[in-house]
Amino acid sequence: MTRQLTQHDDRAIVWFDIDNTLYSASSNISHAMGTRIHNYFVKLGLSHEEASDLHMKYYTQYGLALRGLTRHHDVDPLDFDRCCDGSLPLEDMIKYDPSLRQLFEDIDRSKFRVWALTNAYRPHAERVLRILKLDDLIDGLVYCDYTMQNFVCKPEPEFYEMAMKQANASDPSKCYFVDDNRKNIDAAIDLGWGHCVHFCEKGLEAMEGGKIKEIDESREPGAKENDVQRVTTLQELRSVWPEMFKQ
Ligand SMILES: [Mg+2]
C-alpha cells in the first residue's frame, strides 16, 4: 500500500470504506470503540452523561468524535488513537473471510484501481486490512492524518478531494464508492462521484452500539433527494457494478 502520488492512471477507482463495511458491524468493534471513546471523554473531566451527549454530538456533527475533540478540547489525536482504536483486540474481533478476498480478486484490474477510504488513522486501517488479508489487494489507502492539526475526514468535501489527489484521479464520474454511512455517500454524490452504494447490513437493529449505526444511516437535515443504491452484502456489488468484475 502506498500513500504517495501515483502516476496518472485512467482506470476507474473503487473506494471501499473499511470499518463496518469490510467487516460486519456485528463484530461489535464500533461498540468497543465507543466504550473507549466514552472513557476518553470521561478522562477529560466530563460526567458520564456529558460524555455520552458530546460523543454523539461530535460524531453526528463531524463524522468522527475525534474531530470535535481536537476542535473544542485540547486533545492529542495520537494519544486518543492509542487509547481508542490502538487498544482494540481486533485479532479476536474480526476474521478473514475468503469470499471477501475472492470478491477483491475478481475485480478487473485492467479497468479498476482499488483503494480504501477511511476515517480511521493509518495503523488501525492497516491492521484491519491485514487481518482480512486484503492488504495486498489494495492499491492505496486514504486515512485521517491524526498528525495534522485540523485534519479532514468524511463527509467533508476536502477529504474526498484529498483522496482523489492522492490517487492522482481527476474524473469524479469514474469514482465508485461503498460506505455504510449515508452522509459519507451523500457527500460523495454531491461531489459528482459517479457510482455510490450505501452498504446497509441486514439484521443489526437489536445490536449494541446501535446508536452509532443509527447516526450512520441518518441523513443531514435538508439533504437533497438521491436514489442511492443500497446493498445488504458486498457480494451484491457483483450485480450492481458488473463492469467491475472479470467475466
Ligand atoms: Mg464505516
Instruction: Give the domain ranges of the chain.
Output: 12-26+94-244, 29-87
Cβ 180 vs Cβ 25: under 8 Å: yes
Mean pLDDT over residues 163-184, rounded? Answer: 96
Cβ 59 vs Cβ 65: under 8 Å: yes
For residue 43, CA distances in Å to 29, 33, 38, 89, 194 come to 21, 15, 9, 21, 43
Using the mean position of ligand 1's atoms as its centre, give its distance from the Cα of residue 137 in Å: 19
Mean pLDDT over residues 203-209, rounded? Answer: 56
Sign of CA dihedral 73, 74, 79, 81: positive
pLDDT for 139-155, tens place per residue?
999 999 999 878 999 99
Mean pLDDT over residues 203-226, rounded? Answer: 71
* Model pLDDT, residue 216: 77
Phi then psi for residue 188, to 5 deg, are -65, -40
* Model pLDDT, residue 6: 56
Using the mean position of ligand 1's atoms as its centre, give its distance from the Cα of residue 67 in Å: 16
Q: Is 177 helix (H, G, I), strand (E, B) or coil?
A: strand
Mean pLDDT over residues 79-98, rounded? Answer: 95
Using the mean position of ligand 1's atoms as its centre, give its distance from the Cα of residue 19 in Å: 4
Asked whether the predicted pLDDT for residue 1 surpasses 70, the reply is: no
Q: Is 74 helix (H, G, I), strand (E, B) or coil?
A: coil
Asked whether the predicted pLDDT for residue 164 surpasses 90, the reply is: yes
* Model pLDDT, residue 208: 45
Q: What is the CATH number of domain 29-87?
A: 1.10.150.450
Asked whether the predicted pLDDT for residue 165 surpasses 80, the reply is: yes
pTM, two decimal places: 0.90
Using the mean position of ligand 1's atoms as its centre, give its distance from the Cα of residue 220 in Å: 17
Using the mean position of ligand 1's atoms as its centre, give its distance from the Cα of residue 187 in Å: 14
What mean pLDDT, rounded, does the chain reach?
Answer: 91
Looking at domain 12-26+94-244, does it have CATH number 3.40.50.1000? yes
Which range, 26-30, 77-81, 161-165, has the best average confidence (pLDDT)?
161-165
